[in-house]
Amino acid sequence: MACQRKWRWRSSGWLFILGLVAFRGTQTVHHRHVGQLTAVGTYHSLLELRGISFMDDIEVGSYNNADQQMIIKIPWISKALGADYINQMHHLLVTHEQNARWVIQFFSKNNTNHNRNHTAQLLADCEIDNGIMIKSRIHLIWEGEEYYRIDEEVGHWENLKPENKEFRYILDSPFWTNLRKRFMNEYCVNLLRKIVGYSSLRDNVPPEVTVSHHINPEDRIILSCTATGFYPQSILLQWKKNGELGVWGKETSSGILPNMDSTFYLRLTLELPPEDSGTGYTCVVEHTELKTPTVYPVPEKPTVEKPWGLTLSIVLAVILLMSCAGAFIAWKKRKLCITCM
């Protein structure tokens, strides 16, 4: 019996590990969800409430209180979330109209003109990595200025407008604390997990990698490794020398930047010390679509970079010469016309 129990435990353990691996395999490592609610109104009434939702910089849904309709931009997301979940989200947005009206009244109560329009915004974003929440933040913005923000890792509201302390006590109350945690967990983090577990918003794309070898005006060797056009955004670029990782010089990174087509870009540069000849270097790139780390060797022949000052001087000289030539031709034409008269 003991052997049977041990065997069952081991079997269930292996099944759990295999299930976890399979779950991770359906997900693209890192995802971010951003939701924004914008309320416009006076002290007396709410004129407009609009909501918009982005996942990995792609718009997935919107809401407008004029018709109280929630629009899902990508059809299969409705299947991923399910009718009950969507109804819950819709109900939350409808009831949030009352909260938005109350917030505008609170912040505009000291304004003598109660018919003036005001704008309040709530910006919420969360990030997951392999299905685990790594970041969760809320920003409260009034008339275009951020008044309060909270990072769930810190756990308390930061007041960015010290002259307005009263609202923080309301935000820290049990009612608003529970509402905030429920909202972020259910409609930010879990929403991400549901969508990611069902499908991908777009096809994954491997990076296009180029490696260059330059000599700057100070005769220092600069190595550059550029990865672009990749999706998802999680990527790792590293320098190796003769197959070994290490600190070989001064590294700088552009950071992961978005392209216009919702793919991403990253550039890693390495400035070598004067005594390093720059031979034996490779750029190692890791991305989910490359399956295994891919090695890109640095070209042996460097390209000498022209100083920007010299290039700019040449361009300006050409422009000046063309301008002078044009002025001279115009002057000659005028002189000929006067002679003819």
- What pLDDT score was predicted for residue 324? 56
CB 25 within 8 A of CB 19: no
Q: What is the distance between the alpha carbons of residues 10 and 126, in angstroms, rounded to a whole number?
A: 36
- Which structural domain, as residue segments, surrounds residue 156? 27-198
In a domain, 5, yes or no: no
In a domain, 85, yes or no: yes
DSSP classification of residue 288: G
- What pLDDT score was predicted for residue 300? 82
| Shared domain check, 277 and 143 | no
pLDDT (tens digit, 9 = 90+) per residue, 65-97?
Answer: 999 999 999 889 999 999 999 999 999 899 889
- What is the rounded radius of gyration, in angstroms, for the C-alpha atoms of the chain? 29
In a domain, 286, yes or no: yes
Task: Say which CATH number the domain at 260 has.
Answer: 2.60.40.10
| Shared domain check, 171 and 276 | no
| Shared domain check, 247 and 122 | no
Cα torsion through 105, 108, 112, 117, rounded to 10: -90
262: nearest Cα among 237, 233, 289, 285:
233
Instruction: At 228, give phi and psi (nearest 5°).
Output: -145, 165
In a domain, 341, yes or no: no
219: nearest Cα among 269, 272, 270, 268:
272
Q: Over the chain (341 residues), what is each successive 10-residue block's mean pLDDT?
A: 41 35 45 94 95 90 93 92 94 90 93 94 92 93 95 89 86 90 92 87 88 88 95 91 93 91 91 91 94 92 55 54 59 52 50
In a domain, 8, yes or no: no
Read off the pTM.
Answer: 0.60
CB 270 within 8 A of CB 249: yes
Query: For the chain, how long is the longest CA-to-CA vector?
Result: 122
| Shared domain check, 186 and 227 | no
3 state SS of 80: helix
DSSP element (H, E) containing 329: helix 308-340
3 state SS of 290: helix
pLDDT (tens digit, 9 = 90+) per residue, 8-44?
Answer: 433 334 333 333 333 333 344 678 899 999 999 999 9
- What pLDDT score was predicted for residue 102? 93
In a domain, 318, yes or no: no
Q: What is the distance between the alpha carbons of residues 156 and 135, in angstroms, rounded to a whole number?
A: 14
The domain tally of the chain equals 2
CB 129 within 8 A of CB 56: no
CA atoms in the 13 A half-sphere facing the CB of 172 = 11
- What pLDDT score was predicted for residue 296? 97
Task: Say which CATH number the domain at 61 has.
Answer: 3.30.500.10
Q: What's the gap between Cα 275 and its chain centre?
A: 39
- What pLDDT score was predicted for residue 117? 96
Q: What is the distance between the alpha carbons of residues 38 and 49, in angstroms, rounded to a whole number?
A: 6
| Shared domain check, 122 and 49 | yes
CB 241 within 8 A of CB 221: no
33: nearest Cα among 146, 134, 159:
134
- What pLDDT score was predicted for residue 10? 39
